[in-house]
Amino acid sequence: MRLKNRTWGVSFILGILVIMFIAASAFAQESSFNKALDAYAKKDFKNVVKYLTDYVEKKPDPYAYYLLGYANYKLKNHAEAMKYFNESYVIDPTFSPPPFKK
């Protein structure tokens, strides 16, 4: 009985740790996206590329790909821009970029 309680307790603690790790990972991704939006609002396109490149690797999002394409376009990286614009439409063929809102 005592071993059963100990096993249950260890399982419970491990479960809580897993949930906390997943939540921290999701927060880090959102933080990266928010940093990219801040940089975009400041027209700091180098940092937009930096933050969104990480973000889209973990979470493919057509809006993030579009912003990444636009940032590359502004940096005159036209081949990269076209790649990211196309990727946004591969993920969602009906994608239409909304006006930028911070």
Domain 30-91: CATH superfamily is Tetratricopeptide repeat domain (1.25.40.10)
DSSP 42-88: TT-HHHHHHHHHHHHHHS--HHHHHHHHHHHHHTT-HHHHHHHHHHH
What residue ranges do the domains of the chain occupy?
30-91
- In the block, residue with structure tokens 């700091």: 44
Q: Confirm if 97 and 63 have CB atoms less than 8 A apart.
A: yes
pLDDT tens per residue across all 102 residues of the chain: 565 666 766 665 655 555 554 544 444 456 889 999 999 999 999 999 999 999 999 889 999 999 999 999 999 999 999 999 999 999 999 988 877 655
- In the block, residue with structure tokens 């912003």: 67
